[in-house]
Amino acid sequence: MATVEKISVALTPDLASMVRGAVENGCYASTSEVVREALRDWRRKHDLEERAMQELRALWQTGIDSGSAGVLDIEELKREARRRHEEEKNRT
């Protein structure tokens, strides 16, 4: 490791026990290694969530850009939603 910065982290007793256990059972060489891997996993999760949010925003904008759906009949929408719900229920 080129440069290391030490940071103190407070953990609940359960989390601290899990970290120590991971080292004691040989999965990791040190508690720092456990925390580094957890942070790398957190970063990957955060990146995936960010990409999903960007995709959702793009889809939302596509919907807006497609223009108005016109005049909608709310009762017809409800009937269609109930029909689809029943179909889905009957498939399981």
Region 35-48 average pLDDT: 98
Q: For residue 72, is it within any domain? A: yes
Q: What is the mean pLDDT of residues 25-54?
A: 97
**Residue 82: inside a domain:** yes
Q: What is the pLDDT of residues 5-34, one digit of tens each?
A: 999 999 999 999 999 999 999 999 999 999
Structural domain includes residue 8 = no
Q: What is the pLDDT of residue 82?
A: 97
Contacts of 92 (CB under 8 A, 6+ apart): none
CA distance 27 to 1: 20
Residue 3 domain-assigned? no
Any domain includes 51: yes
Residue 7 lies in a domain: no
- Average the pLDDT over 46-53 and give the result: 98
Q: What is residue 1's predicted lDDT score, i.e. its pLDDT?
A: 57
Q: Is residue 2 part of a domain?
A: no
pLDDT, average across residues 50-58 = 98
- The total of structural domains in the chain comes to 1
**Average pLDDT for 49-71:** 96
Q: Provide the residue range defining the domain that includes 68.
A: 13-91
Q: Domain for residue 21, yes or no?
A: yes
Tokens standing for residue 12 = 């609940």
